[in-house]
Structure 1
Amino acid sequence: MPSPNVVETTRLILRPPTEADRDAWVQLHRDPRTYWHAPHAMSQTDDDAAAFLERTLAHWDEHGFGLWLALDKVTREVVGVCGLKDVEGAFLNLYYRLVFVGLGHGLGREMSRASAAHALEFLPALPVRALVKEVNIPSVRTALGTGFERVGTRVLHDDLPDEPPSTVFESPRVEAVTTFDAAAREQVLDLWVRTNDAGGSVGFLPGAPRDSVDAALRAHEDSMAAGSTVAVLLRSAVDARVLGTSFLERGSNPLLDHTRTVYRVMTDPDRRGQNLGRLLMAATHRVAREAGVEILSLGVRSGSGLSRFYGSCGYVEAGRVLGAIRVAPGEERDDITLTRRLDDRTLIPDLRG
Structure 2
Amino acid sequence: MTSLETPRLLLREITLADAPGILALDSDPRVLRYVPNRPIATLEEAAKIIHYIRQQYERNGIGRWAVVRLDTQEFIGWCGLKLVDDSEVNGRTNYHDIGYRLLPHHWDQGFASEAAGATMRYGLEIMKLPEINATVRRENTASRNILEKVGLHLQEDFTEPDGNLWYWYGIRNAQGQ
Query: Contact 2:134/2:168 (CA < 8 Å) preserved in 1?
Result: yes
Q: 1:115 Cα shift?
A: 0.9
Cα distance in 2 for residues equivalent to 1:163 and 1:36 = 12
Aligned to 1:55: 52
1:18-70 C-alpha deviation (Å, 9 max, x unpaired): 122212212221111222334x5243443444322111011011222211101
Report SS of the residue matched to 1:75: coil
Query: Contact 2:68/2:74 (CA < 8 Å) preserved in 1?
Result: yes
Cα distance in 1 for residues equivalent to 2:31 and 2:83 = 24
Query: Contact 2:21/2:76 (CA < 8 Å) preserved in 1?
Result: no
Cα distance in 1 for residues equivalent to 2:72 and 2:140 = 29
Cα distance in 1 for residues equivalent to 2:50 and 2:164 = 26
Report SS of the residue matched to 2:34: coil
Report SS of the residue matched to 1:52: helix
TM-score norm. by structure 2 comes to: 0.85
| Matched AA of 1:23 | P
Cα distance in 1 for residues equivalent to 2:82 and 2:99 = 8
With over 3 angstroms needed to count, the CA separation of the structure-2 counterparts of 1:52 and 1:112, relative to structure 1, is same
Aligned to 2:88: none
Q: 1:119-268 to 2 correspondence within 5 Å? A: 119-123=123-127, 125-155=129-159, 159=160, 161-164=162-165, 166-175=166-175
Q: In structure 2, which of residues 100, 105, 111 is the aligned counterpart of residue 101 of structure 1?
A: 105
Q: 1:125 Cα shift?
A: 2.7
| Matched AA of 1:91 | Y
| Matched AA of 2:129 | A
1:91-132 C-alpha deviation (Å, 9 max, x unpaired): 101010001100111111111111111101222634201111
The number of residue pairs the alignment matches comes to: 169
The CA RMSD over aligned residues, in Å, is: 2.1
Report SS of the residue matched to 1:41: coil
Q: In structure 2, which of residues 9, 13, 29 is the aligned counterpart of residue 12 of structure 1?
A: 9
Deviation larger for 43-52 or 10-19:
43-52
Q: Determine whether 1:110 maps to 2:114.
A: yes
Q: Kindly, what percent of the aligned residue pairs are identical?
A: 23
Q: 1:146 Cα shift?
A: 0.7
Q: In structure 2, which of residues 20, 23, 29 is the aligned counterpart of residue 23 of structure 1?
A: 20
Query: Contact 2:29/2:39 (CA < 8 Å) preserved in 1?
Result: no
After the TM superposition, list the runs of 4 or more consecutive aligned residues in structure 1 that deviate by more than 6 angstroms: none
Aligned to 1:35: 32
Aligned to 1:298: none
TM-score norm. by structure 1 comes to: 0.45
Cα distance in 1 for residues equivalent to 2:16 and 2:38 = 20
Cα distance in 1 for residues equivalent to 2:67 and 2:56 = 17
With over 3 angstroms needed to count, the CA separation of the structure-2 counterparts of 1:63 and 1:141, relative to structure 1, is same
Structure 2's unaligned 5+ residue stretches are: 86-92
| Matched AA of 2:78 | V
Aligned to 1:79: 76
Report SS of the residue matched to 1:168: strand
**Which one scores higher on RCO, CA 8 angstroms, separation ≥ 6?**
2
Report SS of the residue matched to 1:174: coil
Structure 1's unaligned 5+ residue stretches are: 176-282, 288-353
Cα distance in 2 for residues equivalent to 1:71 and 1:25 = 13
Cα distance in 1 for residues equivalent to 2:100 and 2:22 = 12
